Chains A and B, each alone.
Chain A
């Protein structure tokens, strides 16, 4: 029944003692509190339906229904606290886990997820997402970047240069996320930085989601000629999402500097030491 939380001088992340899920992020520096529920879900991949025979595949994302299914509604959690790191380990299932991490002096929350091998023994293709649900009133608008350069405004069920007839309420609102995606209500901004290009969207107001892994059983007939289905047991994927909660006025400075640090991350090389002196001759 104790409140499960990790915090440093800038951020506090609170987890539900009942479900083990992240439920709140607090920016202690700016006095911002945002209820954020984060969890993993999966879309059941379409194999074609009455409207279209198009199956979800390597080229095409087409879920069979709008609502994704939770990997699990609760996570088994374990807390690790040392002087240099605080971590909440969340285990959602045999193929989905996450470590939520905070280092001292860090202004962002780090979510390191591990997903896979996605089970497809039930013959259902699965497209796994990490979703952040907040109370922010975003009015159908979210933002994604374009190769880390421009940030583009994305409006749900809308294209700026033609009248859109939206036939795919989920996939039709997915956009490439090269380094970041964010939502805002004009005052508070929730930004998620990715460590790789992913698909992302805000399917509902206040919600933000990123696709982390997919495994499909049917070819989408767009040229590959085989389903997105690794041989053997399937692939494990591990990646990181860096979450920033800030005011709209100062958010850009934070996510731009952090994205630079992520894209051009320090490289580590080890050696035994004690090597012979080296000179060019």
Chain B
């Protein structure tokens, strides 16, 4: 069972100016980080439960906390995965999704099964690590989510590019 209370409490503690402005001693800063990390664990379960309920599917959801530094083990290893994009704004947004992937050709489909334009960018900084980033534009409704599916194409698939059955819909 999930629980957001520990994260609530950690966030409340972190309202202290020491945590906001960085004026704490190192061991206190380490403890702030510990409280946040421990609070996030049960909250992640809560979010997974909510997503399962909303999407009607009991998936193992993965939260890539290091996406800002282009690290996400699932997208870097899986040949096929789904991307749930949640929009907390009260208006529709179009947003560029960036996911670290291994090199290859990918097929991205929107919630209606239509193929979405995507690019695999090998940036100069990631080239040495055999890592690329998959980019596609996601359209997400107000206060809602969209589920996009991503498939790594084999060389034969890439040539044929046949559309597959539509993935799970979303709202």
Contact = CB atoms under 8 A, between A and B. Distances in A.
Given A85-B96, A224-B24, A264-B88, A278 B119 contact: no
B60 A275 contact: yes
A89 interface: yes
B85 interface: yes
Interface in B50-83: 51-53, 55-64, 67-69, 72, 74-75, 78, 80-83
A266 B72 contact: no
A271 interface: yes
Interface of A: 58-59, 78, 80, 82-85, 87, 89, 97, 99, 103, 105, 197, 222-226, 228, 230-231, 238, 260-261, 264-280
Contacts of B137: 84, 103
Given A269-B84, A278-B52, A261 B89 contact: yes
In terms of DSSP, what is the predominant structure of the interface of chain A?
loop
A269 B26 contact: no
B133 to A, nearest CB: 9
Contacts, number: 135
A276 B123 CA distance: 38
Interface of B: 20-26, 47, 51-53, 55-64, 67-69, 72, 74-75, 78, 80-89, 93-97, 99, 117-119, 121, 123-125, 135-138, 140, 149, 167-168
A82 B22 contact: no
A105 to B, nearest CB: 7
Which 9 A-B residue pairs are closest in the complex by CB-CB distance?
A: A275-B59, A271-B59, A82-B119, A78-B124, A278-B58, A84-B119, A273-B82, A58-B23, A275-B57
Contact of A269 (B62, B78, B93): B62
Nearest to A231: B26
A39 B117 CA distance: 34
A177 to B, nearest CB: 13
A268 B145 CA distance: 10
A83 to B, nearest CB: 6
B64 A276 contact: no
Given A59-B23, A270-B84, A80 B124 contact: yes
Which of B56, B72, B82, B86 is the most central at the interface, judged by chain A CB atoms within 10 Å of its CB? B82
Contacts of A238: 68-69
Contacts of B125: 89, 97
B81 A272 contact: yes
Contacts of A78: 124
B60 A83 contact: no
Given A89-B125, A228-B22, A269 B61 contact: yes
Contact of B74 (A225, A228, A272): A272
B87 A266 contact: yes
Contacts of B124: 78, 80, 89
Contacts of B123: 80, 87, 89, 99
A133 B116 CA distance: 39
B55 to A, nearest CB: 8
Which of A228, A273, A275 is the most central at the interface, judged by chain B CB atoms within 10 Å of its CB? A273
A223 B17 CA distance: 13
A84 B68 CA distance: 19
A139 to B, nearest CB: 31
Nearest to B140: A266
Contacts of B53: 278, 280
B119 A85 contact: yes
A273 B80 contact: yes
A269 B80 CA distance: 14
A277 B121 contact: no
B119 A269 contact: no
Nearest to A195: B68
A238 B71 CA distance: 14
B24 to A, nearest CB: 7
Contacts of A82: 119, 121, 135
